[in-house]
Each structure stands twice: as structure tokens, then as C-alpha cells.
Chain A
Amino acid sequence: AQTVTQSQPEMSVQEAETVTLSCTYDTSESDYYLFWYKQPPSRQMILVIRQEAYKQQNATENRFSVNFQKAAKSFSLKISDSQLGDAAMYFCAYRDALTGTASKLTFGTGTRLQVTL
């Protein structure tokens, strides 16, 4: 079974600084997808960024980028120019790339990010 590990229960970053959230996963599959979701206090689950395992290029979405290391099974999230609105729980998630089949998301335990002035 696939597992996702987030080893940082809490992180703190100053406004305008950069922070990196760690995620490792375990799978025997060669093709899969990885995601970072953000959950602010409002409880919504918001997709931040996604990465296909077959792509070597790291995904980027504005201030958010990932460092995907397939051999190491590592998928970290970098937030640049941190803003107060970035404060939230961040979840790393994995799913198999099963063609034509619904596939569940397996989540890590989350990292709570605080943004300070």
C-alpha cells in the first residue's frame, strides 16, 4: 500500500520569506500523481499544485513550486514570498495513475504553516 509521510507537523515563516515543506512517499508503481492541498481555517481543501511522475520538470504555480525527486520518492513544496494568507495546513497527497479507473488520494498527516510579520 502506498504511504505518504510529512515529517514536519509545524513550520513557521516570516512574511516575504521562503519556506519548504517536506513530503516523502512510498510506492511500487512507476506512474502516479502527486499533489499539494492547502486547508485554511475555513476548512476548504484547495489544490495548490500537482505533479505527474513521468514528467522530469518540476511543477510551478506562481509562488509555489515543487522539488520532485523520483528516485528518492521525495516531493517538497516551496513557497516563495510568503504571505499571511498562506497560513494553513498543507497536505501532500498521492494517487496511482490508473488509466480509466477511479483512484483514491492517499494523504500525509499535514504540516501546519504559520506566517509571521
Chain B
Amino acid sequence: DTAVSQTPKYLVTQMGNDKSIKCEQNLGHDTMYWYKQDSKKFLKIMFSYNNKELIINETVPNRFSPKSPDKAHLNLHINSLELGDSAVYFCASSQEFSGVGNQPQHFGDGTRLSIL
């Protein structure tokens, strides 16, 4: 069973469109993340949610709006897509508020977003 699953795996769309990427984890984790990996393979945190509450927001344009309907889901909606949004977007999850440190983050397989 896939622990962190993202859909779709590939997304090709035109500049100016609005699109969403969905993420679900079945690990029972309380915290979920979105990372962006650019064309040079550099990975950077975008957002983090804990139990549906936004915890980390790393200077991401407000065209990006994460939504967490419950602690097992963290979706990413992107408005007015731009060429620079082309990247691989990774969802991840971890158990943070367990009193036990060093809980690794588990990643989904990524969504490759290509803007034409």
C-alpha cells in the first residue's frame, strides 16, 4: 500500500490556467508538507500543515493555496499558472507531535508540472 500518494503524477497545462494537486497519506501522521523541486533538482519547503492548521509558509506567492480538509489530506491549488511554476512538487508527511523526536518525513512520488 502506498504510504503517501499524490495525483496526478504528471500535469501539463497552459500558462494562466488553475490546477490542483492532491495528496493523501495513510500513515496516520499529523503533519503534511509540500516541497518544490526545480529544474536544477533543488528541493525547498513550501508549506506545512499540522492537523489542518498551517504551520509553515515559506514566502510562496499567494497564487499557491494549500488546503487540508483533514489531517490525512493536503491539496495544493495553483492559480494563474506561470512558466516558472514548472517543477516537481512533492508531498510529504511525518508524525511531529508524538513526543518522540527524529521522525523522518515520508515522501510521495512527486507530481511533475509542466507549463506550456
Q: How large is the interface on B (under 10, 10 to 19, 20 to 34, 35 or more residues)?
A: 20 to 34
Whether the pair B102, A101 counts as a contact (CB closer than 8 A) is no
Report the bound CA distance from A110 to B40 in whole Å.
9
Report the bound CA distance from A50 to B31 in whole Å.
19
Report the bound CA distance from A100 to B112 in whole Å.
32
Residues of B in contact with A (beta carbons under 8 Å apart): 31, 33, 35, 40-45, 48, 50, 55-56, 58, 88, 90, 92, 94, 96-97, 99, 101-102, 104-107, 109-110, 112
Q: How large is the interface on A (under 10, 10 to 19, 20 to 34, 35 or more residues)?
A: 20 to 34
Whether the pair B41, A97 counts as a contact (CB closer than 8 A) is no
Q: A45-B107, A105-B105 are in contact. Are A100 and B41 (CB under 8 A)?
A: no
Report the bound CA distance from A91 to B45 in whole Å.
14
Residues of A in contact with B (beta carbons under 8 Å apart): 33, 35, 37, 39, 42-45, 47, 50, 52, 89, 91, 97, 99-107, 109-110
Q: List chain A residues, Cβ under 8 A from B104.
A: 35, 47, 50
Q: Which residue of B lies closest to A107 (CB)?
A: B43
